[in-house]
A and B are shown apart, each in its own frame.
Chain A
Amino acid sequence: MTYRCLLQMALLLCFSTTALSSSYSLLRFQQRRSAAVCQKLLRQLPSTPQHCLEFRMHFQVPEEMKQAQQFRKEDAVLVMYEMLQQIFGILTRDFSSTGWSETIIEDLLVELYGQMNHLEPIQKEIMQKKNFTMGDTAVLHLKKYYFDLVQYLKSKEDNRCAWTVVRVQILMNFSFLKSLTGYLRD
């Protein structure tokens, strides 16, 4: 009797791990595709006009976003979710000075929301199980980076040049997001 129970439990564990692992591979595919779509949409927005070159700003990229890092897949999910959330927040700001198409920005927001929606169940599970090593310092680094971007926009009163500078940063963010999807492996 106990043997049968044990066997059933073992089988259940196997299936649940395979179920979770198979959802990671679908997630990887979806996130990668979504990031590519977002990059394509961003590139449709008009590129930097010449007179904005003086507005170039160096933003200190957080260590977590430097390419040399190795991520566990749980940490990759949390970093991705935070980045998507912050990019979503930035794009809800007033961009009327840029003359950018509202449809394109809306499509971007739809994609970002969709990506976050896909990540949410896995992110909830990771937070519950607490099997992530990403500490408060990582969160702070990411938040500080996005805070700098938002403060920059605020200080320039959301003008066109400031937005084009931020657009370049967001494009870089999506490249990094794509590389993060590589960690969503079983």
Chain B
Amino acid sequence: MLALLGATTLMLVAGRCVLPAASGEANLKPKNVEIHIIDDNFFLKWNSSSESVRNVTFSADYQILGTDNWKKLPGCQHISSNKCNFSSVELKNVFEKIELRIRAEEGNNTSTWYEVEPFVPFLEAQIGPPDVHLEAEDKAVILSISPPGTKDSIMWALDRSSFTYHVVIWKNSSSLEERTETVYPEDKIYKLSPEITYCLKVKAELRLQSRVGCYSPVYCINTTERHKVPSPENIQISADNQVYVLKWDYPYEHTTFQAQWLSAFLKKIPGKHSDKWKQIPSCENVTTTRCVFPRAVFSSGIYCVRVRASNGNGTSFWSEEKKFNAEMKTVILPPVISMRSTTDDSLCVSVGASEESENTPVNPLYPLIYEVIFWENTSNAERKVLEKRTDFTFPNLKPLTVYCVKARALIEDDRRNKGSNFSETVCEKTKPGNTSKTWLIAGICTILFSIPVVIYVVRVFLRCVKYVFFPSSKPPSSVDEYFSDQPLRNLLLSTSEEQTERCFIIENASIITEIEETNEIDEVHKEYSSQTSQDSGNYSNEDENSGVKISEEFLQQDSV
């Protein structure tokens, strides 16, 4: 029982001793392996898993992703510390993915490999500090910046001309007044005060990859005392027809000036270009603060210009370099415009390049559009039109009117260039249009045709009016038949005359009764016939008339 207990205890103790030895291999494996790349310097860092100080070393291998050819990583073999420098690895290509693995060794035991995530050196690399060289003037500091890495750098081999540099400069006495500027590799920082200690630091940036590097160490320099001959200031360049005019400010007289130019692309390339500055012709030893030189000196491109002064006391430092873009100063000549009147009340306008501009190669560089101003000669109302075509028409104009037009050429979509001056004003009168003639003829015809219609309408209207307000005494035709022996005229006239009754005195009473009867019968007969008549107006007249007629008949009977 005891023996059993003893044996178990022994086994447990032995197990405890043995077990650590077995897990020791796993413990050896490094942890948190990181890669640090600055320019062409490659570092590998890790943490060892075991805490106790033992004879543990580390070794690493590498291979290009995809190949199956692990190679020993130079500078990282049997390292006892926690980091190694493998910059001496000669990577053919920093744009390919690399695989790394590292393991720990203790004597003959090795841990398992720790495999680092594959990476592209170019993407992992940090941009290191650039190398800066300073030179002082009285009011400026000249910077000569070398790109990060060495000249034979593999990491930045393609980007040496692509870096942009940011400088932070301050007065040593007060770090509050900081200024940040973006500079070229060979550049100057201006607007400083003489005899002051300035300190600065520089960092490089690869703009296209949005990668910013570390700042360089701080460099300090003293500006010199104020120079006896000040530098020219406020350089201006303007274009004027076939020449450029260079102007600057200078406080003193009796000074000669010298102007130089440089192609701006050279500023992008690291290294000194002091020998590349060239004299501007007709701007050497000028005594005025301006000089004029032909445009042919600067073909299209970007240039830097600088000026310095010299008098009896010496020569000044170079002025601030003025960058100017020859393209933006392009002078566009005003176009030639012509206008003619066409039929249909419109004017056809033609815009063309002037003969002079045919010779200068400037204009074909840019797409031109024309700003055309069009107005009626008598009024001030102007119409402004932007036209890309060179031939266009203004339609729907008033006939026999004078219209005027002028145009200027603009570079399409480029508002920086103010365009040409206006061309000459051209005026033209529109034709008396066919349309107006036809309108005239149509109008006349309409009038001619409408006259009889109008007359007819007026007549009908008058008839109605007469009918309503001045009725005629003419009986309807059915009645008229009975009075066919009577001339119509009498009836019409009887309305205008006063009615006079013709009375006959009848002496014989018996005859009267007979006649009266017949009269009654006649009257009844007449009544019937009169009742059939619709015309009540005639009825009363008719009675009178019938009365007259009866009496006349009676007279005739009498006479018989």
Q: Identify the A interface with B (CB < 8 A).
A: 22-23, 25-26, 29, 33, 78, 81-82, 85-86, 88-89, 92, 106, 109-114, 117, 123-124, 127, 136, 139-140, 143-144, 146-147, 150
Instruction: Encode B142-158 as 1/0 by CB contact (under 8 A) with A.
Output: 00000000000000011
Whether the Cβ atoms of B93 and A114 lie closer than 8 Å is no
Whether the Cβ atoms of A113 and B122 lie closer than 8 Å is no
The residue in chain A whose Cβ has the minimal distance to the Cβ of B271 is A92
Neighbour of B413 across the interface among A26, A88, A139, CB < 8 A: A26
* Complex: A10 Cα to B82 Cα, angstroms: 60
* Complex: A147 Cα to B157 Cα, angstroms: 8
Whether the Cβ atoms of B412 and A113 lie closer than 8 Å is no
- Say what secondary structure dominates the interface of chain A: helix
Whether the Cβ atoms of A113 and B367 lie closer than 8 Å is no
Whether the Cβ atoms of B93 and A140 lie closer than 8 Å is no
Residues of A within 8 A of B325 (CB): 117
The segment out of B28-36, B55-63, B260-268, B543-551 that lies at the interface is: B260-268
Q: What is the minimal beta-carbon distance from A94 to any residue of chain B, in angstroms?
A: 13
Neighbour of A150 across the interface among B123, B158, B264, B411, CB < 8 A: B158
Q: In this assembly, does B302 line the interface, its C-beta being within 8 Å of a C-beta of chain A? A: yes
Known contacts being A22-B413, A112-B265, is A89 close to B367, with CB within 8 Å?
no
Interface size on B, as a range, is 20 to 34
Residues of B within 8 A of A33 (CB): 365
Other 14 A-B pairs with CB < 8 A, given A111-B301, A114-B327, A127-B207 = A23-B413, A78-B208, A85-B208, A89-B160, A89-B161, A109-B263, A110-B301, A112-B265, A113-B265, A113-B301, A114-B301, A127-B210, A140-B123, A150-B158
Q: In this assembly, does B214 line the interface, its C-beta being within 8 Å of a C-beta of chain A? A: no
Residues of A within 8 A of B172 (CB): none
Residues of B within 8 A of A146 (CB): 158
Q: What is the minimal beta-carbon distance from B375 to any residue of chain A, in angstroms?
A: 28
Whether the Cβ atoms of A85 and B157 lie closer than 8 Å is no
Can you report 26 residue pairs joining A to B where beta carbons are below 8 Å apart? Answer: A22-B413, A26-B367, A26-B411, A26-B413, A29-B412, A81-B208, A82-B208, A85-B161, A86-B158, A88-B265, A88-B268, A89-B158, A109-B263, A113-B264, A113-B265, A113-B268, A114-B302, A114-B327, A127-B208, A139-B209, A140-B120, A143-B158, A144-B93, A147-B93, A147-B158, A150-B157
Neighbour of B414 across the interface among A26, A85, A113, A136, CB < 8 A: A26
Residues of B within 8 A of A140 (CB): 95, 120, 122-123
Residues of A within 8 A of B300 (CB): 114
Whether the Cβ atoms of B365 and A88 lie closer than 8 Å is no
The residue in chain B whose Cβ has the minimal distance to the Cβ of A140 is B95
Residues of B within 8 A of A127 (CB): 207-208, 210
The residue in chain B whose Cβ has the minimal distance to the Cβ of A154 is B157
Residues of B within 8 A of A150 (CB): 157-158
Residues of A within 8 A of B414 (CB): 26
Residues of B within 8 A of A109 (CB): 263, 265
Q: In this assembly, does B190 line the interface, its C-beta being within 8 Å of a C-beta of chain A? A: no
Q: In this assembly, does B111 line the interface, its C-beta being within 8 Å of a C-beta of chain A? A: no
The residue in chain A whose Cβ has the minimal distance to the Cβ of B268 is A113
* Complex: A23 Cα to B325 Cα, angstroms: 17
* Cβ < 8 Å to A, chain B residues 109-165: 120, 122-123, 157-162
* Complex: A88 Cα to B268 Cα, angstroms: 10
* Complex: A150 Cα to B369 Cα, angstroms: 44
Residues of B within 8 A of A86 (CB): 158
The residue in chain B whose Cβ has the minimal distance to the Cβ of A111 is B301
Neighbour of B95 across the interface among A81, A88, A144, CB < 8 A: A144
* Complex: A92 Cα to B122 Cα, angstroms: 22
Whether the Cβ atoms of B161 and A88 lie closer than 8 Å is yes
Q: In this assembly, does B70 line the interface, its C-beta being within 8 Å of a C-beta of chain A? A: no
Q: In this assembly, does B277 line the interface, its C-beta being within 8 Å of a C-beta of chain A? A: no
* Complex: A184 Cα to B371 Cα, angstroms: 26
Residues of A within 8 A of B161 (CB): 85, 88-89, 92
Neighbour of B208 across the interface among A110, A111, A123, CB < 8 A: A123
The residue in chain A whose Cβ has the minimal distance to the Cβ of B412 is A26
Q: In this assembly, does B366 line the interface, its C-beta being within 8 Å of a C-beta of chain A? A: yes
The residue in chain A whose Cβ has the minimal distance to the Cβ of B152 is A154
Neighbour of B263 across the interface among A92, A106, A123, CB < 8 A: A106
Whether the Cβ atoms of A29 and B95 lie closer than 8 Å is no
* Complex: A117 Cα to B323 Cα, angstroms: 12
Whether the Cβ atoms of A25 and B269 lie closer than 8 Å is no
Whether the Cβ atoms of B162 and A89 lie closer than 8 Å is yes
Residues of A within 8 A of B413 (CB): 22-23, 25-26
* Complex: A33 Cα to B264 Cα, angstroms: 20
Residue of A22, A88, A114 most packed against chain B (CB within 10 A): A114
Known contacts being A29-B366, A140-B95, is A110 close to B263, with CB within 8 Å?
yes
Q: What is the minimal beta-carbon distance from A53 to any residue of chain B, in angstroms?
A: 26
Residues of B within 8 A of A89 (CB): 158-162
The residue in chain B whose Cβ has the minimal distance to the Cβ of A113 is B265
Whether the Cβ atoms of B208 and A136 lie closer than 8 Å is no
Residue of A29, A33, A136 most packed against chain B (CB within 10 A): A29
* Complex: A19 Cα to B367 Cα, angstroms: 17
